[in-house]
Amino acid sequence: MAVRAAVLPAVGSPLEVTGIELPEPGPGRVRVRLAAAGVCHSDLSLTNGTLRVPVPAVLGHEGAGTVVAVGEGVTRIAPGDAVVLNWAPSCGKCHACSLGEVWLCANAMNGAADVHARTSDGTELHPGLNVAAFAEETVVAASCVLPLPDGVPLTDAALLGCAVLTGYGAVHHAAKVRPGETVAVFGAGGVGLATLQAARIAGAARIVAVDVSPDKEELARRAGATDFLTATADTPREIRALTGKQGVDVAVECVGRAVTIRAAWESTRRGGRTTVVGIGGKDEQVTFNALELFHWGRTLTGCVYGNADPARDLPVLAEHVRAGRLDLTTLVTDRISLDDIPAAFENMLAGKGGRALVVF
């Protein structure tokens, strides 16, 4: 069956929206009709080679939709079920999984090397980050779909597959923000806005949003920021001034640049926690001297997929949505078509808006 999809022909090449031929779901596979797919910075990182996957590939990893067919042996999901795509399914067998750290699963990306579909001329296509969500329909492993809990709109539920799981997990699992603590969030894109909401849900007393664009202030405050700063070289000093010259208890970096990671570190109080969520390139070198590491006693941690277990965390997030504590609509600044994804990438590079959502 032919469907339209956004294909990355090669690293550094522009996306091509074209027809592809999807196979019927084989054993252990599920076919999903997409309702929506979020445009994430990780998709952009695939196009420029910061993240490497086999190409040509159908991109898109943050999506939700409806099951239309299942292959032999699939019993957990049935046609008609609403599902959220899980782009990093855990194998349950590797060392990380045995420790309960499923977000570090050694085999999570194995599916990215599979042949996912073909173009009209027979060219083999791979699923960029396992799920190939930038398409009207996709065929994925059954482990890549999670039942969508009741009470969450199907279109907005796409955001739960990456931005919200990442932002919520960064606050609740990686940084472990406690009620009454102060938090700074660097970057107010889709993940940053989700992180701000998560900090509010965690009961943070003061939440400082930082972004290069002053136009993000309204978005940030709607998400839960009590203060907003336009990023400059003086940002750490400004944050200390807001927090009694101490610095915040927790800083979360959602950009992935050396200068921003360093600023987040310098904004954290002595003994505080700095969590890096943003994915940067290997040429982004962050430096510290030995004395400051001793003196400040801060903790610097990386954060993969929010250190989340999607099967565990999705029902929790759904309950926050139903209770009105988590507002998915405030994360979306643009609802677009497949053809608009390149423009969404340009807006992302320019620091504009929150999450762009491809609506099918």
Res 145: pLDDT: 97
Q: Which long-range contacts (CB under 8 A, 24 or more apart) does 120-125 make?
A: 120/2, 120/18, 120/19, 120/20, 120/21, 123/56, 124/56, 125/7, 125/20, 125/56, 125/57, 125/58
pLDDT at 51: 86
Q: Residue 37 has which token pair? A: 């797919």
Pairing of strands 137-141, 145-147: unpaired
Name beta bridge partners: 211: 230
Assess contact for 184 and 260: CB atoms under 8 A.
Answer: no
What domains can be seen in the chain, in order of their start residue?
Answer: 2-161+327-359 (3.90.180.10), 166-304 (3.40.50.720)
According to DSSP, the β-strands at 227-230 and 206-211 are: parallel
The bridge status of strand 82-85 relative to strand 124-127 is unpaired
Instruction: Give the DSSP per-residue string, 60-104.
Output: --EEEEEEEEE-TT--S--TT-EEEE-SS---S-SHHHHTT-GGG
pLDDT given at position 185: 98
DSSP class of 323: T
Closest Cα partner for 127 from 164, 75, 157, 86? 86
Note the pLDDT tens digit of each residue in 120-179. Answer: 889 999 999 999 999 999 999 999 999 999 999 999 999 999 999 999 999 999 999 999
Q: How far apart are CA 188 and CA 184, in angstroms?
A: 11
Q: Amino acid identity, residue 100? A: G
What three-state secondary structure class fits 118?
strand
The CA-CA-CA angle for residues 77, 71, 109, to 5°, reads 80
The H or E element containing residue 226 is: none
Regarding beta strands 248-253 and 268-276, do their DSSP bridges make them parallel or antiparallel, or are they unpaired? parallel
Say if residues 358 and 38 touch (Cβ distance below 8 Å).
yes
Q: Do 97 and 90 form a contact (C-beta atoms < 8 A)?
A: yes
Q: Measured on CA atoms in the order 87, 92, 95, 96, is the torsion positive or negative? A: positive
Residue ranges in the chain modelled with pLDDT below 50:
none
